[in-house]
Amino acid sequence: MKDTVAERVLASVMEWDAAEVAEFGPALQALAAHKYDSYEGYRPGVKFLEHLTGWLYQFPTVEERQQAIRFVLDDLIFISGAELGHLIETVYPDHIRPMLIKKTSERLGVSRFAVAEIVRSDLFRHLQRATLVLGLSDGAHIDQLRRTSPELSHEQIFLATDIGDETMVRAVRKLREATCDPDARFEQVLLVDDFYGSGRTLLRKEDGEFNGRLWRTRERLAQLAEGVEDSEGGIVPALAPGFSVSVLVYIAAAQAEEHVRGALLDADIDWQLSVVQPLPADVRITHAELRKMCEEHYDPILTDKHKQRDVPFGFSDCALPLVLQHNTPNNSICILWADSTEKPDSLERRALFPRYERHQEGRN
């Protein structure tokens, strides 16, 4: 559909007069062109404005449609691929390098402000090479992190935490070659991921037992510290005694930060958490009319074993107004992501940015 045609249909759905079309049309066109048309959950040939029109049309009153448009223009947070890429570019200079400077200054016994002296030291270069970077999920964009962190070797950055023994042995050997230290081991581990809304995927306690990615990673790191078997049957310890662990998330809601920090403390895990782009608590949707629309919009047919209760305000009641270019988090309000248009016996609810579900009925 041509943008001009889409704009005319949108004006009809919203019952806008010429002045309102002049006020809202250019803003929506600009948002579509610069961001929203790039949403990867749209089918080929589909653009934002026609999707917006169909989404608005399902709300029964003009007042609700006006509320929805105000939400799109004033509250919606859409993080584009370029913006996420910029966050990843800042990881080394704004997070990894300062961490290395702090650790080096403590060991050398010099001020952390003596940056030039620190980064010229052999210890700084050793600690930089002895940092193991692991992705916690495929959303960690490890390929981009590698390209934007030329100071780090590709031999110390891996896509996932479940590294095979042979791969880990090879990484330790490369570390020893690079540092000219036959006994070198990785001294710190950086765990990387892209987004968390509630933080429960990382670490949670269920029926008195801890679970989540960090808990499983903790077990694997303990194995690496004890040693992995090489091709000759020998045991190669991969992590140094007293190795440190840091968790770095590109984007996280305040609720997720609070949960993960509390869960780490509760689990007696002494790991540091850093967030490149925090989402403050006040982005959470609290507007009564909008929340009512979410409750009325949510289709119970979307509730399954992975969402064991209705989630009109998003998983764990996060109520985020967030869309990521590659997908919409289920921590966001349901009118953004909850689409049931192709489900039998559904209420045919349209989502503005349909979500690709990692877990889906009928797909193993």
Are residues 146 and 226 both part of a single domain? yes
Domain count, the chain: 2
DSSP, residue by residue, 116-176: HHHHTSHHHHHHHHTEEEEESSGGG-HHHHHHT-TTS-GGGEES-S---HHHHHHHHHHHH
pLDDT of the residue at 91:
97
Are residues 202 and 70 both part of a single domain? no
Boundary (domain end) residue, out of 246, 263, 281: 281
Are residues 147 and 246 both part of a single domain? yes
User: pLDDT by residue (tens digit) across 130-183?
Assistant: 999 999 998 899 999 999 999 999 999 999 999 999 999 999 999 999 999 999
Are residues 217 and 183 both part of a single domain? yes
Question: Is 308 inside a domain boundary?
Answer: no
pLDDT of the residue at 356:
85
Residues 219 and 163: beta-carbon distance below 8 Å: no
Are residues 89 and 172 both part of a single domain? yes
Are residues 153 and 169 both part of a single domain? yes
Question: Is 316 inside a domain boundary?
Answer: no
pLDDT of the residue at 2:
54
**Domain around 190:** 82-281
Question: Is 73 inside a domain boundary?
Answer: yes
Are residues 69 and 93 both part of a single domain? no
pLDDT of the residue at 310:
62
Are residues 271 and 210 both part of a single domain? yes
Question: Is 290 inside a domain boundary?
Answer: no
Question: Is 338 inside a domain boundary?
Answer: no
Among 184, 180, 139, 179, smallest CA distance to 160 is for 139
Question: Is 355 inside a domain boundary?
Answer: no
Strands 77-79 and 322-324: parallel
Are residues 43 and 146 both part of a single domain? no
Distance of CA 336 to the CA centre of its chain: 17
Separation CA 37–CA 355 (nearest Å)? 15
Are residues 209 and 136 both part of a single domain? yes
Are residues 114 and 251 both part of a single domain? yes
Boundary (domain end) residue, out of 240, 259, 281: 281
Boundary (domain end) residue, out of 29, 56, 78: 78
Q: What is the reported pTM?
A: 0.91
Are residues 224 and 92 both part of a single domain? yes
DSSP, residue by residue, 251-299: EEEHHHHHHHHHHHHHTT---EEEEEEEE-GGGS---HHHHHHHHHH--
Question: Is 27 inside a domain boundary?
Answer: yes
Question: Is 105 inside a domain boundary?
Answer: yes
**For the chain, which residues score pLDDT lower than 50?**
1, 308, 363-364
Coil, strand or helix: which one is 105? Answer: helix
pLDDT of the residue at 1:
47
